[in-house]
Amino acid sequence: MQISQEFILEDSCSYLQGKQSTTEYKVVENASLQEMQNFLEHGYRRFGKILFRPICEGCCECQSIKIDVENFTFTKSKRRVLNKAKNLLTHIQRPIMSQEHLKLYDKYHLYMEKKKGWEYKKVTPTHYYNSFVEGVESYGYEILYFDKEKLIGVDHIDIVEDGISSIYFFYDPEYSSYSLGKLSLYNQILIAKEHKLKWIYLGYYVEECPSLSYKAEYTPYLTLQKRPLLSQKAFWK
């Protein structure tokens, strides 16, 4: 592994209105499976070759959480989501970029601009490639969702030694009735159970942020304690 750049950026907080954020970034080349495992255990997230985590002084609202796969129970309502989607097809592969991917990504973000006020910028091939195709090494995958031959969802994940890191999911809003966001996570859990993986690394839970507060629904989960250095042992409880 080579860390080609390290830097800290301060900006307005994307999650909590009126607050400032401080984020640590590392540009990592050729991180091994074990090295990526260590990053995840210490609360980092990956997009392409960039790994980051919040380090805001005096604020711990961004909590890294991981779902306990073995003890996760599929309730009746969760099983209904899975059963309703039985007609949909899924395929797991190494991440690629295609016109279908780019069009679906744009369609989803236009929808989220109207629904949740997200800032929309038309995706460029370079941005998409750098975010989702570059830097995947041996652990990066995408799960594709199809209605017959139509691509309706793309779920980016990393599969590491003890679990799955849930990176980013986007979908066709015309298929919202399928609860595709929930479906994608339930399928990650099913894959983890099948392969005896212990955790779903779900990223950051922020109680006061509607886009992230939903993660508290996926119990049981553990929370990373404090902000350990990569050289220190990470404690979750």
In the chain, where the domains are located? 68-199
**pLDDT over 90 at 30, yes or no:** yes
| pLDDT value of residue 141 | 98
Q: Average pLDDT, whole number, for the chain?
A: 96
Report the number of secondary-structure helices (H) and strands (E) in the chain.
6, 11
Superfamily of segment(s) 68-199: Gcn5-related N-acetyltransferase (GNAT) (3.40.630.30)
**Which pLDDT band, with edges at 50, 70 and 90, does 37 fall under?**
very high
| pLDDT value of residue 210 | 80
**pLDDT over 90 at 117, yes or no:** no
Tens digit of pLDDT for each residue in 53-94?
Answer: 999 999 999 999 999 999 999 999 999 999 999 999 999 999
| pLDDT value of residue 131 | 98
What is the percent of the chain where pLDDT is above 70?
A: 100
The CA distance from 158 to 227, in Å, is 22
Tens digit of pLDDT for each residue in 163-217?
Answer: 999 999 999 999 999 999 999 999 999 999 999 999 999 999 999 998 898 899 9
| pLDDT value of residue 199 | 98
Angle at 214 between CA 211 and CA 219, to 5 degrees: 150
**pLDDT over 90 at 116, yes or no:** no
The CA distance from 33 to 50, in Å, is 15
| pLDDT value of residue 115 | 85
173: exposed, middle or buried (Cβ count in 10 Å: 0-12, 13-18, 19+) = middle
Angle at 108 between CA 104 and CA 111, to 5 degrees: 140
The CA distance from 134 to 35, in Å, is 17
The secondary element (H helix, E strand) that includes residue 184 is helix 180-194
